[in-house]
Amino acid sequence: MSQTDPQFVYRQVGIDRIDDIRLLWEELNVYHVQFAPLFADEMGSRTFAGRRSEIEAKAASGKVRIELVAAGSDGPDIAYCVASVSADGVAEIDSLFIQSQFRGHGIGSELMHRALAWFRAAGATSTIISVTHGNDKAIAFYRRFGFYPRAVVLRQRDEGAG
């Protein structure tokens, strides 16, 4: 089984179909909480509606590319990638998720290659990815594509929360 296996069906959708990623994004959000226990309340209470608004705002001011992968032609969606290029040429991998049982088959790499090719075609001037602190597997994965940590963003906790 590899990313070129016909059982994996790749498709791009427009911003009007962003809800197609909702269930997978919710899985990704739960996955992220384990890496940031200090921010578990804040991260656990994030909603897809909020994330959708952020991505819609990016689409309004720049370009957004949404790609999903289904397991079979009529099968459920098992992976997605949201990528964007801002009006001033900054490209970003906004969200990338492969369901756990489908990891390690090259699907994430294939989605990255497609997004990076789109960035080049769009004339992006720089490319960034925001990774949850502690998600070392993702950092190792992105290193293969030439991405390295450059800054760590510290966020003040709301000590009154929870």
Q: Interface with ligand COA by CB under 6 A: which residues?
A: 2, 28, 31, 96-98, 103-109, 131, 135, 137-138, 141
SS3 content of the chain, % helix, strand, coil (to 5): 40, 25, 35
Report d(CA 39, CA 112) in Å as an integer: 28
Question: Residues 75, 64: contact at Cβ < 8 Å?
Answer: no
Question: Is 28 or 68 the residue whose CB approaches ligand COA more closely?
Answer: 28
CB of 66 to ligand COA, least distance (A): 15
Q: How far is the CB of 109 from ligand COA (least distance, A)?
A: 3
Nearer to ligand COA by Cβ, of 86 and 141: the residue is 141
- C-beta closer to ligand COA: residue 16 or 104: 104
Q: Cβ 88 to ligand COA, closest distance in Å?
A: 22
Helix/strand/coil for 80: strand
Tell me, what DSSP letter sits at residue 76?
Answer: P
